[in-house]
Structure formats: C-alpha cells, structure tokens
Chain A
Amino acid sequence: GAVVSQHPSRVICKSGTSVKIECRSLDFQATTMFWYRQFPKKSLMLMATSNEGSKATYEQGVEKDKFLINHASLTLSTLTVTSAHPEDSSFYICSGGGGSSDTQYFGPGTRLTVL
C-alpha cells in the first residue's frame, strides 16, 4: 500500500506558540489530502480537505485562522496550529489520496500536547 508520513510524531509546546505538522505522501501523488483530529477512544473528526494548489475546505466549526492548511505540492501538506492552547491538545492525523486510487492512506499521526 501507499505510504504517508507525518512529522513530528510527537510535539509538546507552550500555550500561545504555533506548531507546524508536515504530511508527506512518499510513493504516490496525493491530489487530495485530509486532516483529522482524534480524541482518546473516539472516532476521527475531519477538519479540512485540501487539494493541491487550492485553498483548503474546512468543516463546520473548524477555525480556519487557527488551523492553517497548506497543500503546496502533490506530496506535501502542512497543518499549522496557531497560538495553540491546551484545548488544542489532540492526535492529528492526515491522509492522502487521488489519482486512479479509490483509497485514502493515513499517516501515523502526530500527538500534540500544549502546556
């Protein structure tokens, strides 16, 4: 299967700082990338959908100014959590898909802890 990587895998930051998470498709071109948030023992909550070269489409209730998404190339998307607060602590997961494939491939996730 196709491989998606995320970096960093874990990050701890102070309240008020910004954190950038990278999502890379390693062996395929991801025309569409998705960003999810997952709370402990809960399902994945879609935050936004991004197509390469276009602005991201955010789900209802997700603050676009707080969660900045950039999908500058077919293999890289970034999520920046701006002015992070403790309530932003969560597990963030990206996925990629597109081309001739029906499948979304998920990254390993990034654990964000805001102190």
Chain B
Amino acid sequence: QQQVKQSPQSLIVQKGGIPIINCAYENTAFDYFPWYQQFPGKGPALLIAIRPDVSEKKEGRFTISFNKSAKQFSLHIMDSQPGDSATYFCAASNLGSGFQKLVFGTGTRLLVSP
C-alpha cells in the first residue's frame, strides 16, 4: 500500500532523446508527487513536483504527466543532454494531514550518450 513502483531500473538514450521514467502507486491518500535527481556522492535535488489536481506540469525540459485514475505518473526529459546522466527517484507523500514523509521509488539510472 505504501510502495511506489518505478521503472525502468536503468535507461540509455542518445543526446537529444526523450527518456521517460514511470512510477505507479497504490495509496490513494498520496497527494504530492515529486521527482528528485541525484548525482553520485551527492544528495537528491528536487526537479519538479505535481499535485493530483493537474494532469501535467512542465518546468524547463522536465515534464510530469499524471494519471490519477491509473495511479501513475511519469517524468519526461526533453532534449536530453549528457549532463542529465544521473539517478532519478520518484516519490509520493500525503500532505493532507501535515508535512509527511516521502515514499521513494527504487530509482532509475539514466545515461545520456553524447
């Protein structure tokens, strides 16, 4: 119930490609869905986040698509660059009852080849 399932585990795309990372959740109480980017040896950095009242959110080259009925959300990276090579984590939490802990997906290692 508390899990967030993330796929794929790893992904290789060419520069300029559009990698897509998918996440699915079960807990319908989740109402906040952030994506984090992590480089080796560093802490995760917030990329973009979405609430369930919208189906899509775009910030720069990063887009979240959200499907409430399917309980799925995904991250698209437009015009990917080698500098985007990192591990990406989706997460979910229930903010409705105050600031709550995040449930993380298992992570996707993205490699963007030059």
Least CB separation from A9: chain B residue: B41
Which residues of chain B in 59-98 are interfacial with respect to chain A, using CB atoms and an 8 Å cutoff?
89, 95
Residue total for B at the interface (Cβ-Cβ under 8 A):
21
**Complex contacts, A93 vs chain B, CB 8 Å:** 43-44
Give the distance in Å from the alpha carbon of A103 to the alpha carbon of B51 in the complex. Answer: 12
**Complex contacts, B49 vs chain A, CB 8 Å:** 102-103
**A108 touching B42, Cβ below 8 Å:** yes
Least CB separation from A103: chain B residue: B46
Indicate the size class of the contact surface on chain A.
20 to 34
Return 29 A-B CB contacts under 8 Å, by A number: A1-B45, A4-B43, A6-B43, A34-B102, A41-B107, A43-B89, A43-B105, A43-B106, A43-B107, A44-B89, A44-B104, A46-B101, A93-B44, A95-B43, A97-B99, A98-B99, A102-B32, A102-B49, A103-B34, A103-B49, A104-B46, A104-B102, A106-B43, A106-B46, A107-B43, A108-B42, A109-B42, A109-B43, A111-B41
